[in-house]
Amino acid sequence: MLDAAMTGRKRPPSQRQNAKRQPAGDTHYLYGIHAVATALANPERRSHRLVATDNALQRLKEQGAPVSIDAETQSARDITRLIGPDAVHQGALLYCDPLPDLELETVLEPDSAQRRLMLVLDQITDPHNIGAILRSAAAFSADGLIMTARHAPGETAVLAKTASGGLEHVPIYRVRNLANAMEQLKTAGFQVAGLDETGSVALDTLEFAPSTALVLGAEGKGLRQKTLATCDHIARLDMPGAITSLNVSNAAALALYIASRRLIPV
């Protein structure tokens, strides 16, 4: 069943007022049971058309998804014809608007709700990685994810499917200049900690501030020099095994686990 968290992203009213609504149409869609169920449950999401197999429709209802729009019952093969053979759609396809863009300034306003844990992504471009990071961010109650408007994927069906519902729970803030956004976080009282194998301190020994932002870079390239220079701390994840590095989405999950247990209580 869908729990209380499936009522949409955690945003104060001021963010809804500053959101930019994308035009409606059948060009944007999500697929997969969890992605579709959480999208249907999100009041911020404007849905237009639900296409599902009989079995998928039953699974959506069993999860408590409010199927408030008329569903078109089609076979799995027909749905595959609609979106292509590479989509693992599980018999559920939802045509909808993308979620509205959010302005970072609204979450940093003095009268906004207390923010404790943010993620910052430095030019991570793989939608599978970002989807997996969103899933972990939702699991550990992260308050938002910041990434650049360029050199980062938009809201795609692949990203949403990998996020397994996390896209609906974690607010995403797209910015033009990542270093400037990090400076805004610092001005608002956030400690900004970058993750890099060259870090001078292990993340699990870092003294976390009440509000912390974790910064992760793309695999291979890591954090850019300007990003590194803007961080308050550069921390590393110490691994005891023969392989000492992790996929960025796995590193994000581990960092979130550590941070969620070491944040100073507000």
Summarised one tens digit per residue, pLDDT across range 170-218 is: 999 999 999 999 999 999 999 999 999 989 999 999 999 889 999 999 8
Which tokens is 83 given? 């979106």
The candidate with the shortest Cα–Cα distance to 30, out of 48, 43, 44, is 48
Q: What are phi and psi of 118, to 5 degrees?
A: -120, 155
| Rounded Cα–Cα distance for residues 223 and 116 (Å) | 22
Amino acid at the residue 123: Q
Q: Is pLDDT of 68 > 60?
A: yes
Q: What percent of the chain has pLDDT over 90?
A: 65
pLDDT: is 109 or 50 the higher one? 50
3-state helix, strand, coil in the chain (%, to 5): 35, 20, 45
What is the model's pLDDT at position 17?
Answer: 39
**221-261 tens-digit pLDDT:** 899 999 999 999 999 999 888 887 889 999 999 999 999 88
pLDDT at 153: 86
Tokens found for residue 136: 């972990």
Segment 130-138 shows an average pLDDT of 97
Question: Distance between the two ends of the chain, CA-based, in angstroms?
Answer: 31
Q: Could you tell me how far CA 102 lies from the centroid of its own chain?
A: 13
Residue 150 contacts by C-beta under 8 Å, 6 or more apart in sequence?
176
Q: What is the pTM of this model?
A: 0.85
Alpha carbon 211 to its chain centroid, in Å, reads 18
102-121 mean pLDDT = 79
